[in-house]
Amino acid sequence: MATDPLSAPVTITWEVTLGCNLHCDHCLSGSGPGHEMPGELTTEEAKSFIAECDEMDVFQVNIGGGEPFVRSDFLELLEELTGRGISTCVSTNGTQLDEATLDRVESMDPLYLQVSLDGLQAENDAIRGEGVYDAVVDSLERLEDRDIGTTLNTVVTRQNVDDLPEIYDLAREHGAGLRLNRFRPSGRGEDNWDHFRLTTDQIKWLHEWLSDRPKVRTGDSFFYLNAMGEVRNETLKECGAGSMTCLVDPVGDVYPCAFTQWDGLASGNVVEDGFQSAWDEIASLRTEVDDHEGCPAVAIGSDDPSGEDPQLRAILDD
């Protein structure tokens, strides 16, 4: 059902760079060493975008990449965001959090960290690189003594779903929360979709496991089913891309979400058009599209002939 678009998104995902010190097999943005996009926003352009977010009363900016902390001016941009009172959450691979960086991060409020870990040591390092698991656990230990809200962030795959109970315990041992993300056919994930996507039995087990752990955070309609395929939360089952949230890429192009960065889908650019104009365009287009359960990006990326989210449909039809 079409509804009037919001005057501004509630949250924004902002990929500040596609540069990264790692080269993960399932990376949604295809980032890695030397993968910075030509024309990534300058410091001043980024600060102007932040100012417009403030003027539009955007509640939260979720920052990702790439690895945000490899950007040389990143701490300066964080200070600009938090100094304006914008709730800021940074997704990081956890390998760049030295004491000097944590000193500055701890002085900022409101700011939260999501540290990525995609399995126990063997499973994580097979995806992210040798030694990354130890580096992440090292960072979690240092964060224990810091006044920084921290969540362990796991992309659930066929290889690590059985590790979730131990990952959950690891997060709790270090005073962190646990957040689960869905693996999608985006970036390098498109090439590895069949390798990493969950089986139907694994999806059912996951929903049952989540039903007993309400404190585990999720942000996707895929997780709002119980083990029998019944929707557990009616208000969260529909995709919010283009209606409540959007994605801003490293050069300032605006897309419905992080998983729909396809040619021709950008609604505008925060430098050339202004963020308000780009948001108005993408929000008006969203009101013309019928709402579907599940993730449109998975439906498109997996070439589902019905145009629906095939994993969600498999559960509902089971």
Mean pLDDT of 101-124: 96
**Between 230 and 59, where is the model more confident?**
59
Residue written as token pair 């040591």: 121
Q: Give tens-digit pLDDT for 282-309.
A: 877 665 554 555 566 565 555 554 555 5
Mean pLDDT of 235-252: 79
Q: By percentage, how much of the chain surpasses pLDDT 70?
A: 81
The pLDDT, as a whole number, for residue 219 is 64
Q: b or e along 66-95 (b: 16 or more beta carbons within 10 Å of the residue's beta carbon)?
A: bbbbbbeebbebbbbbbeeebbbbbbbbbb
CA–CA gap between residue 11 and residue 62 (Å, rounded) = 7
**Between 290 and 45, where is the model more confident?**
45
The residue type at 37: M
| Cα 144-147-150 angle, rounded to 5 deg | 60
Residue written as token pair 């943005």: 29
Mean pLDDT of 64-70: 96
Strand partners, 115: 92, 152
Lay out the sheet containing 268-269: strands in order across: 217-218, 177-182, 149-156, 111-116, 87-92, 60-64, 11-15, 245-248, 253-255, 268-269
> 38 falls in which pLDDT band (50, 70, 90)?
very high
Least confident of 135-139, 174-178, 283-287, 305-309: 305-309
User: Half-sphere exposure of 284 toward its Cβ, with a 13 Å CA cutoff?
Assistant: 8
Return left, alpha or beta for 193; rule: phi > 0 is left, psi -120 to 50 is alpha, else beta: alpha
Q: Give tens-digit pLDDT for 79-110.
A: 999 999 999 999 999 999 999 999 999 999 99
Closest residue by Cα to residue 66 from 27, 114, 17: 17
* pLDDT exceeds cutoff 60 at 227: no
* pTM of the entire predicted model: 0.86
